[in-house]
Structure 1
Amino acid sequence: MLSPTPDKDICPLMIDREHLQQNGYQLLRQALPADWLDELRAAFEAGVIGPEQWPVPRGHDWRHALVDLDARVQAVCRLPALLAGVGELIGEGFFLSQVEGREPLAGGGYQRLHRDLSAQRLGDRVTVLVYLDDYGPHNGATRLVPGSHRPGEQLAPFDFDDESQVVQLAGSAGDILLFDADLVHGASLNPSGARRRTLLISYAAQALYAADLQTRKLRVVRMDTGERFEPADFV
């Protein structure tokens, strides 16, 4: 596996717009205030429910947590640098669609490479991972393929069994990864069982709001998703 490009793991207060557009992702090092971590971890633990308790059953090799009503979690979803990156990728008005907690268990968590896929046009969804623990190959950190999101007007075909171009991320609690939903990516096996709690956040273009409301019960979205963000507000 390849390593992340060091000069692109930049200051958390800066968004590299050219890098985002070209590669489809950015890793913001230490973007979380350090004194938020314990509170976020506590919110994660308080929200954990069994995989069979969700309307759509979840895999038994993951822990899933309901966290979307927690005030500190909501503050994370509105960090200015994070919203600036989301706005750059979506390129129009957008909203916060969902936030939940996820953690791969020992010996679990593996995902085949995949795209989450846009709903109406390329680039209308962005995914964010907020790392609450240190992460790397030892505990199943995300792997991705830079530039595989939208190299042209249409998505290029991709062999999801080909991992020759994969970058596997590594870093520390407090880092934030944001990426285009069309970027090829996947979680990795957690061989050690070391903790790797994350907040998984989804943002979507405003045009998808009505459709998003139709599935919110299946996704156990309890928060108000009516707030709107504009890219111009974060330039």
Structure 2
Amino acid sequence: MADREQLHQNGYILLRRAILPEWLETLRAAFDAGVKPSNQWPVPRGIDWRHSQLDTDPVVQALCRLPPLLAMVGELIGERFFLSQVEGREPLINGGHQQLHRDLSAQRPGDTVNALVYLDDYGPENGATRIVPSSHRPALSEPPFDLNDESRSVQLTGSAGDILIFDADLIHAGSLNSSGARRRTLLITWFSEALYSTHLETVGLRNIQMDTTERFDPADFAFGIVTSSI
């Protein structure tokens, strides 16, 4: 069973094969149907990535509400929260490399949680995500993290259907897709309910089309799921 202390200590959890196999093809089709070129987004996107608008797809919305997923998100946020955004991203051949970075919480540590849902197998060759475990809550005595230092980063490897859930302050990055093999992901973001007014200020810039009024309470989801983590 997933351990609360380990989740908070590591700042992430990797749910292996969390998606029903029969959903995967539907999700891949939704991703491919929603792909839009960079210049068709309100804010132009990186040209070395493929981006997909799919947040109103019913299967995507159902995926965002999987109870094990919401249980982990609720545990990390620790208070009522809402689904802010979901979009598709895929690094193109010889693209996708990012410097290590944090997405950053907005008002308090832990008020923002992300998930990457892998629709294809992933590893070093097709630009899998790198993370620095336990980097989300540095001690006051620690020097600032050098984002050019890769010595503590770990590159994930896994299968289609895996879901990586992580605190927005966890240091992470995409990697170079040197093989050109497909690595479609859904990037999902949840915020604490207290951030809703801030969220509304940027929905147009982020091209969010789905309804974001639903609220989730951590108490409604049982914590604990058979899982694996690196």
Q: Common fold, TM-score beyond 0.5?
A: yes
- Amino acid of the structure 2 residue aligned with 1:27: L
Number of residue-to-residue matches in the alignment: 222
Deviation at 1:15, TM superposition (A): 3.5
1:149 match: 136
2:203 match: 216
1:31 aligns with 2:18: yes
Q: Is the 8 A contact 1:51 1:60 kept in 2?
A: yes
Identity in percent: 68
What is the rounded CA distance, in whole Å, between the counterparts of 2:139 and 2:215 in structure 1? 28
Q: Is the 8 A contact 1:106 1:194 kept in 2?
A: yes
1:106 match: 93
Deviation at 1:153, TM superposition (A): 7.2
1:87 match: 74
Q: Secondary structure at the residue paired with 2:186?
A: strand
What is the rounded CA distance, in whole Å, between the counterparts of 2:140 and 2:196 in structure 1? 24
Matches within 5 A, 1:1-235: 14-152=1-139, 157-235=144-222
Structure having greater relative contact order (Cα 8 Å, sep ≥ 6): 2
What is the rounded CA distance, in whole Å, between the counterparts of 2:142 and 2:197 in structure 1? 25
Deviation at 1:170, TM superposition (A): 0.3
For the structure 1 residues 145 and 219, does the alpha-carbon distance in structure 2 shift closer, same or farther, using more than 3 Å as the test?
same
Q: Secondary structure at the residue paired with 1:103?
A: strand
5+ long unaligned stretches in structure 1: 1-13
Deviation at 1:227, TM superposition (A): 0.4
TM-score (norm 1): 0.92
- Amino acid of the structure 1 residue aligned with 2:161: G
Deviations 1:116-169, CA, capped at 9 Å, x for gaps: 001100110001000000000010000000000014579962100001001110
For the structure 1 residues 107 and 215, does the alpha-carbon distance in structure 2 shift closer, same or farther, using more than 3 Å as the test?
same
What is the rounded CA distance, in whole Å, between the counterparts of 1:146 and 1:116 in structure 2? 15
What is the rounded CA distance, in whole Å, between the counterparts of 1:230 and 1:154 in structure 2? 34
- Amino acid of the structure 1 residue aligned with 2:46: G
5+ long unaligned stretches in structure 2: 223-230
Deviations 1:155-209, CA, capped at 9 Å, x for gaps: 9621000010011100000000000000000000000000000000000000000
Q: Secondary structure at the residue paired with 1:138?
A: coil
Q: Is the 8 A contact 1:150 1:156 kept in 2?
A: no
For the structure 1 residues 217 and 146, does the alpha-carbon distance in structure 2 shift closer, same or farther, using more than 3 Å as the test?
same
Q: Secondary structure at the residue paired with 1:100?
A: strand
**Structure 1 runs, 4 residues or longer, greater than 3 Å off:** 151-156
What is the rounded CA distance, in whole Å, between the counterparts of 1:154 and 1:198 in structure 2? 36
What is the rounded CA distance, in whole Å, between the counterparts of 2:73 and 2:143 in structure 1? 22
What is the rounded CA distance, in whole Å, between the counterparts of 2:2 and 2:42 in structure 1? 37
What is the rounded CA distance, in whole Å, between the counterparts of 1:228 and 1:207 in structure 2? 11
What is the rounded CA distance, in whole Å, between the counterparts of 2:148 and 2:63 in structure 1? 34
Q: Is the 8 A contact 1:149 1:155 kept in 2?
A: no
- Amino acid of the structure 2 residue aligned with 1:221: I
Q: Secondary structure at the residue paired with 1:95?
A: strand
Deviations 1:212-232, CA, capped at 9 Å, x for gaps: 011001000000000000111
